[in-house]
Amino acid sequence: MLTVQLVQEWMKKTNERMQENKAYLTELDQAIGDSDHGINMSRGFREVVNKLEQSAYDDVSTVLKDVAMTLMSKVGGASGPLYGTAFLKLSTALKGKDIVNKEDLAAGLEAAANGIQHRGKSTTGEKTMVDVWVPVVLWWKGQDEINAEGLEKVAKEAMESTKSMEATKGRASYLQAKSVGHIDPGSTSSYYIFKSLAEVLV
Ligand code: ADP
Ligand code: MG
């Protein structure tokens, strides 16, 4: 189940992870991109937490909408609009729901994953964050109940699977075959988002 308070905790934990791993995300983006993913994520999620602390919320959908709007307006680069779209789709899918259960979240995360692909004109196997979101959603839909441990594991394996992929979308695609052998930065930040979600789910 997800509540307003749990979304706030989810974002807090995500932010902590982005701050702790800012240098690592930069390093990953240095190898196959333009070295700004650590800066983008640390700034974006810090702003998200600031925004959520300033407001009082009655429902999950509205909190997620503020997350989306903050990421869209504060994060430069490809990842800002993509994560912004993901959280906006999740917000829309959960609109009007007082109680958000496992099925609602499955539908919401699926809408989010579809939103990323639509916005990024991307699909699986292209060495992007999509390679984490899609397998996580597919796995989630097959679960009978919330399985936090499983979620962390699936997201981690999905992130690691990007190492052997050749990038065909985003900046990393300029490197073609040279992108192979490096974990995708956006898949890593997506792993942090799901690892944090796993920690707050009840
Ligand atoms: P930029 O690439 O503009 O510098 P970031 O470094 O913040 O932005 O984010 C890069 C990440 O965004 C990549 O590692 C990848 O996961 C993701 N990404 C880039 N382009 C796309 C796309 N078209 N579809 C899905 N994800 C993408
Ligand atoms: Mg970058």
Domains identified in the chain, total number = 1
Between the CA of 56 and the centroid of ligand 2 the distance, in Å, is 33
Q: In this model, does residue 87 exceed pLDDT 80?
A: yes
Confidence at residue 98, expressed as pLDDT on a 0 to 100 scale = 83
Convert the pLDDT of each residue in 36-76 to its tens digit: 999 999 999 999 999 999 999 999 999 999 999 999 999 98
Convert the pLDDT of each residue in 169-188 to its tens digit: 999 999 999 999 999 999 99
Structural domain boundaries, residue 43: 4-201
Q: What percentage of the chain carries pLDDT values higher than 90?
A: 95
Residue among 74, 57, 72, 66 at smallest CA distance from 91? 66
Between the CA of 97 and the centroid of ligand 2 the distance, in Å, is 35
CATH number for the domain including 143? Answer: 1.25.40.340
Confidence at residue 16, expressed as pLDDT on a 0 to 100 scale = 98
* Residue with CA nearest ligand 1 atom 4: 77
- Distance, CA of 188 to CA of 138 (rounded, Å): 18
Confidence at residue 192, expressed as pLDDT on a 0 to 100 scale = 98
The residue to mutate among 79, 118, 124, having the most atoms of ligand 1 within 8 angstroms of its beta carbon, is 79
Convert the pLDDT of each residue in 112-166 to its tens digit: 999 999 999 999 999 999 999 999 999 999 998 889 999 999 999 999 999 999 9
Q: Which residues line ligand 1 (CB under 6 A)?
A: 29, 33-34, 36-37, 40, 77-79, 82, 116, 120-122, 128-130, 169-171, 184-187
Convert the pLDDT of each residue in 45-56 to its tens digit: 999 999 999 999
Confidence at residue 99, expressed as pLDDT on a 0 to 100 scale = 85
The environment of the single-atom ion ligand 2, i.e. residues with CB closer than 5 A, is 29, 33-34, 36-37
Q: In this model, does residue 22 exceed pLDDT 90?
A: yes
Mean pLDDT across the chain, nearest whole number? 96
Residue among 80, 41, 56, 75 at smallest CA distance from 8? 56
